[in-house]
Amino acid sequence: MGFAAVVVTGCGVVSPLGNDVETFWKSLCEGKSGVRPISRFDVSGLPVRIGAQAEEPDFGETVPRKELARLPRFARYALWAAMKAREAAGLGEGCGLDPKRAGAMIGSGLGGMEVFDAASRALRERGPDRVSPFFIPNAIANCASGAVSLRFGWRGPNWSAVSACATGNHNIVCAADQIRAGRADVMLAGAAEEGVCPVALAGFSALRALSARNDDPERASRPFDRDRDGFVLGEGAAVLVLEREDHARARGARILGRLAGCGTGADAWHPVAPDPEGVGAEEAMRLALREAGIGPGEVGLVSAHGTSTPLGDLAEARAIRRLFRGERPRVNAAKSMLGHALAAGSALEAVACVLSLRDGILHPNPTLETPDPEIDLDLVGREAVREPVRFVLSNAFGFGGHNSSLLFARV
């Protein structure tokens, strides 16, 4: 029995550029930045004071306030994105979907960081009796998938892959595998992160991974630019509706794109630094193309991991150049506008890839002012490009050497 084809029939987002997919996409295409001075908490004692904050979604009367209050911020982001994705796919009440064949895989790299922080302070300052009974269920990274399942009553495959900044891609891979293996007809897949919080900002600052352009936030995240100095901490959520193609067509769903191939692997190199030659990254891309049965010359766009770190961008560029050799696909990096939303970053970028295929638009790299001569890629410039493409490759690489690449195809 052959594997079932998997298509995308809906998307939902929470992002620094808005919590509506079309607003998010329009802002990306216009080169708008979501990076700002952090306003959610006091940053006066921190070396980095900028980030790409998402706005809290307004659920109105759709979800009881008591239910929302019990969820950590990243799970609220995930629930909003999942609700919007399901709505966009036409999978609301009365659609006839078998709940035993519908599932969710929505991951998080950090989980409930704010919940951890609050529980630690309560334990230290007031004793164990003041630790919330919701601490454990709200801190764990699989909280988002569980919350979505509870809200929708979907009883199919439900868990979360956790692989740092590759988490979004890996959850999409795992969800697609459930459909391909015949275990589900529909899966919600993606990731959520509440990354802009004091402990995360302090931790990444200690690693010296962040840009310190506090006085120039909109130009701080500079993938592939000669003057890049680190990434900007971001946050948000993105969820895609993955569906068996024949199931989608039978119900008359609008198909946005097809997940044509997936590639995963590991650097086996260093806990946080990439393999400087990008060997593992190259292999992940190669595997995605092999699964789809296409050659490098058929890829029109590479949506790069492109974090704006000196080592990471160069390693990825080397991997792309080796894989494509004489071919020159266009390359863009959404983190130039969204910052690095950690686990949610690759899920947000997957949504952007699907919309690129839908509209034939390649979003710009608006902070690319002086391309690093060592990069040597065909980078999209500071303006969007109208260029229909058949295949888009989306990369995500995480601390621990976790590599992933997804290939989306126009339908």
DSSP-derived secondary structure letter, 190 = E
* pLDDT score of 180: 97
Please report whether residue 358 resides in a domain.
yes
The catalytically annotated residue of 170, 197, 262, 340 is 340
Known active-site residue 305: yes
Please report whether residue 1 resides in a domain.
no
- Determine the 3-state secondary structure of 314 from DSSP: helix
- The answer to whether residues 181 and 60 belong to one domain is yes
- Which region among 136-145, 215-224, 239-248, 255-264 has the lowest average model confidence (pLDDT)? 136-145
pLDDT of residue 2 exceeding 80: no
205-223 average pLDDT score = 96
13-24 average pLDDT score = 98
14: domain CATH number is 3.40.47.10
264-286 average pLDDT score = 95
The catalytically annotated residue of 247, 305, 363, 402 is 305
Please report whether residue 155 resides in a domain.
yes
- The answer to whether residues 68 and 198 belong to one domain is yes
Containing structural domain, residue 294: 261-409
Residue 395 to residue 281: CA distance in whole angstroms: 8
- The answer to whether residues 281 and 223 belong to one domain is no
Residue 399 to residue 273: CA distance in whole angstroms: 7
Q: Count up the domains in the chain and report the number.
A: 2
Residue 313 to residue 232: CA distance in whole angstroms: 14
pLDDT of residue 92 exceeding 90: no
Please report whether residue 134 resides in a domain.
yes
1 exposure class (CB count in 10 Å sphere: 0-12, 13-18, 19+) = exposed
pLDDT digits (tens, 9 = 90+) for 380-400: 999 999 999 999 999 999 999
- The answer to whether residues 268 and 234 belong to one domain is no
* pLDDT score of 160: 96
274-296 average pLDDT score = 97
Domain boundary (216, 250, 284) is at 250
Confidence grade of residue 329 (pLDDT, cut at 50, 70, 90): very high
DSSP-derived secondary structure letter, 340 = B
- The answer to whether residues 226 and 326 belong to one domain is no
* pLDDT score of 1: 40
- The answer to whether residues 310 and 380 belong to one domain is yes
141-169 average pLDDT score = 97
Measured distance between the N- and C-terminal CA atoms of the chain, rounded to whole angstroms = 23
Please report whether residue 256 resides in a domain.
no
- The answer to whether residues 145 and 246 belong to one domain is yes
* pLDDT score of 95: 87
Confidence grade of residue 116 (pLDDT, cut at 50, 70, 90): confident
222-245 average pLDDT score = 98
Known active-site residue 402: no
User: What is the DSSP annotation of 11-61?
Assistant: EEEEBTTBSSHHHHHHHHHTT----EE--SS--TTSS--EEBPPPPP--TT
Please report whether residue 70 resides in a domain.
yes
- The answer to whether residues 191 and 268 belong to one domain is no
151 exposure class (CB count in 10 Å sphere: 0-12, 13-18, 19+) = middle
pLDDT of residue 3 exceeding 80: no
- The answer to whether residues 266 and 238 belong to one domain is no
- The answer to whether residues 89 and 226 belong to one domain is yes
Element (H or E) spanning 74, and its range?
helix 73-88
Domain boundary (195, 228, 250) is at 250
Please report whether residue 255 resides in a domain.
no
- The answer to whether residues 207 and 308 belong to one domain is no
Residue 337 to residue 26: CA distance in whole angstroms: 12
Is the separation of the CB atoms in 144 and 107 below 8 Å?
Answer: yes
The catalytically annotated residue of 165, 174, 197, 262 is 165
- The answer to whether residues 102 and 199 belong to one domain is yes
270-277 average pLDDT score = 93
pLDDT digits (tens, 9 = 90+) for 27-66: 999 999 999 999 999 999 999 999 999 999 999 999 999 9
Known active-site residue 165: yes
Q: Tell me what percent of the residues of the chain surpass a pLDDT of 70.
A: 100
Domain boundary (195, 225, 250) is at 250
Supply φ then ψ for residue 22, to 5 degrees: -70, -35
